[in-house]
Chain A
Amino acid sequence: MSAAAAPRAGSWRNALFVAPYLAVYLALLLYPLLAGAWLSLHKADLFGGEVFVGIENFQRLTRDTVFLQAVRNTFYFVLLTVPALATISLGLALALNRPTRAAAVFRGVFFSSSVLSVTIVTLIWRLVLIPDGGLIANLLHLAGRPPIPLLSHPDLVLPAIALTTVWWCLGLPMMLYLAALQQVPAELYEAAALDNAGRWKTLTHVTLPSIRRTIVLVVIIQCVLQFQLFGQAQLLTQGGPNGASRPIVLFLYEVGFRRWDIGYAAAASEILFAVILIATLAQYLTSRGKGAER
């Protein structure tokens, strides 16, 4: 073996260390992503017949009122949940960021909902939301008011699902915020106290700038998650009434696995993928621009 060949052989051996990850990444992420994009250009069903149709599936989608309603529903749902999740979990984290036993107990309580499966969560919230003997209906009854059909009113059904989702998803962002808050040096708060900063000034000028990266992270994670709403809508309302709570993923499911039109479903999924990508990229770029001098 020549002296020059030795390092090259070594670098091949180095590649072996990343090979297992690379194989899984290629087989389970990159290949399906490309295969999906390729599928979206075909008229295909689950039994095999595949005909190349170019962008016809996408053209059909732009005229499909059911799909367009699902897109509107999804954006509305993201708007309802992401800001609420980002702010409420921040409020909880700020309130529970102290070394007392009570704070530890409440951290556990608020996080506990996150470990439940979507089936349990929707079961619990069905008991809260149904007009026939549900918790909210009972409370309204005590106040002498008639029950509200939260899950069957087209204007109320998405807010009701959003409420369920916020309750379910609060735990993780709260934990992320808590971890970030505990990284803020105590000396900064002491300096702010000596600088005569009140509670609000300290929050806006010391705490929030210090955990800015985590706020961006939470918003991006929640965007990605909430754009993919499926389980809660499927289990609580099946997308009803009249499609008022059908999100994009439910549309995908219905088209792909009920009507077996998987080429069309793949095209819709590519659009969802692009939406999520653009939304998260935009947030990432704007936040990076602001903090660049750091």
Chain B
Amino acid sequence: MARVRLDRLSKRFGAVPVLDDISLDIAAGEFVAFLGPSGCGKSTLLRMIAGLESVDAGQIHIGDRRVDQLPPGGRGVAMVFQHYALYPHMTIFENMAFGLRNAKVAKAEIEARVAEAARILEIERFLPSKPGQLSGGQRQRVAIGRAIVKKPDLFLFDEPLSNLDAALRLRTRLELAQLRRRLDATMILVTHDQVEAMTLADRIVVMSDRRIQQIGTPMEIYARPANRFVATFVGSPPMAFLDVTLNVGADGLARAALADGAGVQTAMPLADLPSSPTWRLGVRPEAAKVVAPGTGLVDAKIAFVERLGDRTLVHLRLADGGALTAEDAGTSRAAMDDIVGLAIDGPVHLFDAEDNAHHPRAPT
């Protein structure tokens, strides 16, 4: 278990910058997820920590050691690869023992550690097999086992669940969460799947466009996204944005007015907000409700209905062209092209012209 400190890391591939001035502090024993779309640099960052990519500028510390100039094997990290990267010609036992042999661990100790890991992961009966004889899920367990036996200071997971089918992914996710309790180690997970990040990680690092967009607990990221990118990327379906103008409402709080004048009362004092030429109102689906026509904030036309069983997602189009998604009961009778009322009863967010988010002050 070790603390990990990234200090102003930068990386370019030829002329193309991929990471720009990344700093991050991960506490010992913490589980952190790097979340972002393809090409945001999250995998490169993980590979830099592992030592598989060089560092152009900045420093990496694991525990008390500066490691960015050390070879991958000397950093005390273990990595689970997206495509498992098991040695195809070695047995499962050999796959797990290979790293320990190279580290000159005693034979009895190797056997004990492999046996223990195989027991935890329930892969004991595969130990004499070769990877080609195993299913994808079983190979994934072996890849995790190969990491566990090394007893590393830091575990690195590079999209470990993306090659599994949906049912297996759910199961493996739960197992990973349990494993984490048991191992009590520092872990970094790279994923583009927000559900994985939300359910597994203590803290999420949202990345986009070569930079860290926000660092926070899953609920902070969801409830108080730092900017429009984070607000859109986390949450499904994503937050909707409506063009608004701000004026003063009750108690000096900002009131966001839609094009036709209907206003939404926010919980943010107008005086606390910076000046900005344009404003957008961010509304998550659970804050928007469908009501009878004429009784809501505005009337809207239903563009599409998605029935999920326990709830119904109603995609609305407003008269001024704005679009948003509202949540309705599972038994909703909303149908396409109906005119309904839109009510907003839940937290809303404001985004200025620079796409920075503004939220009500957190309760103290």
Measured in the bound complex, the distance between the Cα atoms of B88 and A21 in whole Å is 37
What are 17 sample pairs from A and B whose C-beta atoms fall under 8 A apart?
A187-B83, A188-B87, A190-B79, A191-B79, A191-B87, A191-B146, A193-B73, A194-B99, A195-B73, A195-B98, A195-B99, A196-B73, A196-B99, A197-B73, A197-B98, A209-B88, A212-B89
Measured in the bound complex, the distance between the Cα atoms of B227 and A76 in whole Å is 76
Interface members, chain A 173-213 (any B CB < 8 Å): 185, 187-188, 190-198, 201, 205-206, 209-210, 212
**B binding-site residues for A, Cβ under 8 Å:** 50-52, 71-74, 77-79, 81, 83, 85-90, 98-99, 102-103, 130, 132, 146
Residue of A187, A201, A209, A212 most packed against chain B (CB within 10 A): A187
The distance from the CB of B346 to the nearest CB of chain A, in whole angstroms, is: 45
> Is there an interface contact between B77 and A293, defined as CB atoms closer than 8 Å?
no
The distance from the CB of B50 to the nearest CB of chain A, in whole angstroms, is: 6
Not counting A191-B146, A192-B98, A201-B102, a sample of 16 additional A-B residue pairs whose C-beta atoms are within 8 angstroms of each other reads: A185-B85, A191-B81, A191-B85, A193-B51, A194-B51, A194-B73, A194-B99, A195-B73, A195-B98, A196-B73, A197-B99, A197-B102, A205-B87, A209-B87, A209-B89, A212-B89
- A145 within 8 A of partner (CB): no
> Is there an interface contact between A294 and B73, defined as CB atoms closer than 8 Å?
no
Known contacts A196-B99, A201-B102; A190 and B88 CB within 8 A of each other: no
**A binding-site residues for B, Cβ under 8 Å:** 185, 187-188, 190-198, 201, 205-206, 209-210, 212, 291, 293-294
Q: In the complex, which residues of chain A have a beta carbon less than 8 angstroms from the beta carbon of B81?
A: 187, 190-191
The distance from the CB of A185 to the nearest CB of chain B, in whole angstroms, is: 7
Q: In the complex, which residues of chain B have a beta carbon less than 8 angstroms from the beta carbon of A187?
A: 81, 83, 85
Measured in the bound complex, the distance between the Cα atoms of B102 and A256 in whole Å is 60
Overall SS of chain A's interface: helix
Residue of A193, A194, A195, A294 most packed against chain B (CB within 10 A): A194
Measured in the bound complex, the distance between the Cα atoms of B94 and A205 in whole Å is 11
> Is there an interface contact between A185 and B83, defined as CB atoms closer than 8 Å?
yes
Measured in the bound complex, the distance between the Cα atoms of B43 and A187 in whole Å is 13
> Is there an interface contact between A193 and B88, defined as CB atoms closer than 8 Å?
no
Instruction: Name which residue of chain B comes closest to A290, CB basis.
Output: B89
Known contacts A195-B98, A294-B130, A294-B132; A190 and B72 CB within 8 A of each other: yes
Measured in the bound complex, the distance between the Cα atoms of B77 and A185 in whole Å is 21
> Is there an interface contact between A194 and B87, defined as CB atoms closer than 8 Å?
no
Known contacts A195-B73, A196-B73, A196-B102; A190 and B130 CB within 8 A of each other: no
Residue of A190, A191, A201, A291 most packed against chain B (CB within 10 A): A191
Q: Which of B52, B83, B89 contacts A193 (CB 8 A)?
A: B52
The distance from the CB of A208 to the nearest CB of chain B, in whole angstroms, is: 9
Q: In the complex, which residues of chain B have a beta carbon less than 8 angstroms from the beta carbon of A194?
A: 50-52, 72-73, 77-79, 99
Q: In the complex, which residues of chain B have a beta carbon less than 8 angstroms from the beta carbon of A293?
A: 130
Measured in the bound complex, the distance between the Cα atoms of B50 and A190 in whole Å is 9
Measured in the bound complex, the distance between the Cα atoms of B130 and A291 in whole Å is 11
Q: In the complex, which residues of chain B have a beta carbon less than 8 angstroms from the beta carbon of A193?
A: 51-52, 71-73
Measured in the bound complex, the distance between the Cα atoms of B89 and A187 in whole Å is 15
Q: In the complex, which residues of chain B have a beta carbon less than 8 angstroms from the beta carbon of A191?
A: 79, 81, 85-87, 146
Measured in the bound complex, the distance between the Cα atoms of B132 and A194 in whole Å is 22
> Is there an interface contact between B88 and A294, defined as CB atoms closer than 8 Å?
yes
The distance from the CB of B250 to the nearest CB of chain A, in whole angstroms, is: 60
Instruction: Name which residue of chain A comes closest to B89, CB basis.
Output: A209
Q: Which of B50, B51, B71, B85 contacts A188 (CB 8 A)?
A: B85
The distance from the CB of B77 to the nearest CB of chain A, in whole angstroms, is: 7
Q: In the complex, which residues of chain B have a beta carbon less than 8 angstroms from the beta carbon of A209?
A: 87-90
> Is there an interface contact between A196 and B103, defined as CB atoms closer than 8 Å?
yes
Instruction: Name which residue of chain B comes closest to A196, CB basis.
Output: B73
Measured in the bound complex, the distance between the Cα atoms of B72 and A198 in whole Å is 11
Q: In the complex, which residues of chain B have a beta carbon less than 8 angstroms from the beta carbon of A212?
A: 89
The distance from the CB of B141 to the nearest CB of chain A, in whole angstroms, is: 16
